[in-house]
């Protein structure tokens, strides 16, 4: 096990269903990046999707947008597959959308002097063959680990559309976590780094604490739907 592996396995605490169970609880600040929903625009011959923010969905449904909001609470049910005229596809689960990854990686690049990034991917995805990858043990989430460039962030494992479950630079200035079961991504880093993420017009992000819950029932502001 190399030094970068020892750092992350020793830093992430035992799983307690909170932010500090996904991102090491050692940073100055943390942000929650919301994966957008999508509305289909029927413009033939090439229909395309437009990103829809959680804030827009909350406002349309008479809900409140806040750092601990959960998708099921915003739309009223975890089983809902669309809201005509508002969104046609739910936010991606367990995968940071490529266009969001590109923007996030540009911001993170400014907060590290390292030109190498460690990318980890949960080994529970079926049919994966990742050559020369180290297997590291994290609480409930064994992961394959490889090294790459920040420019590889959108598809670091060469799998179309598959971003990393966990990634961080060699100098450990920040860390990004996208859990397999979640529709949002969590980032830990310096105060200025996290501030830039939250203030980005290309991302929907809010500040969070390491103790904020990440469970489906974590939203205590909006109505609680039935269990997923």
pTM: 0.94
Q: 167, 170, 138, 141: which is closest to 152 by C-alpha?
A: 167
- Residue range 24-41, pLDDT digits in tens: 999 999 999 999 999 998
Report d(CA 114, CA 87) in Å as an integer.
39
- Residue range 160-207, pLDDT digits in tens: 888 999 999 999 999 999 999 999 999 999 999 999 999 999 999 999
Q: Where are the domains of the chain?
A: 3-33+93-208
Q: 225, 202, 6: which is closest to 107 by C-alpha?
A: 202
């Amino acid at each position: 096990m190399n030094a970068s592996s020892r750092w992350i396995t020793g830093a992430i605490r035992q799983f307690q269903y909170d932010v500090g169970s996904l991102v090491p609880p050692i940073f100055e600040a943390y942000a929650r990046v919301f994966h957008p929903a999508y509305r289909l625009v029927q413009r033939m011959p090439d229909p395309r999707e437009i990103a829809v923010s959680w804030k827009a969905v909350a406002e349309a449904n008479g809900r409140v947008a806040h750092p601990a909001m959960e998708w099921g609470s915003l739309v009223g049910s975890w089983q809902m597959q669309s809201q005509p005229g508002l969104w046609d596809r739910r936010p991606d689960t367990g995968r940071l959308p490529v266009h969001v990854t590109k923007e996030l990686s540009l911001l993170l690049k400014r907060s590290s002097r390292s030109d190498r990034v460690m990318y980890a991917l949960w080994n529970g995805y079926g049919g994966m063959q990742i050559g020369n990858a180290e297997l590291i043990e994290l609480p409930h989430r064994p992961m394959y680990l490889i090294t790459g460039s920040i420019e590889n962030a959108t598809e670091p494992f060469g799998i179309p559309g598959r971003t990393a479950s966990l990634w961080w630079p060699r100098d450990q200035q920040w860390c990004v976590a996208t859990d397999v079961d979640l529709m949002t991504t969590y980032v830990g880093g310096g105060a200025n780094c996290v501030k830039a993420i939250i203030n980005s017009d290309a991302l929907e992000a809010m500040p969070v604490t390491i103790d904020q819950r990440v469970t489906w029932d974590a939203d205590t502001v909006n109505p609680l739907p039935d269990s997923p």
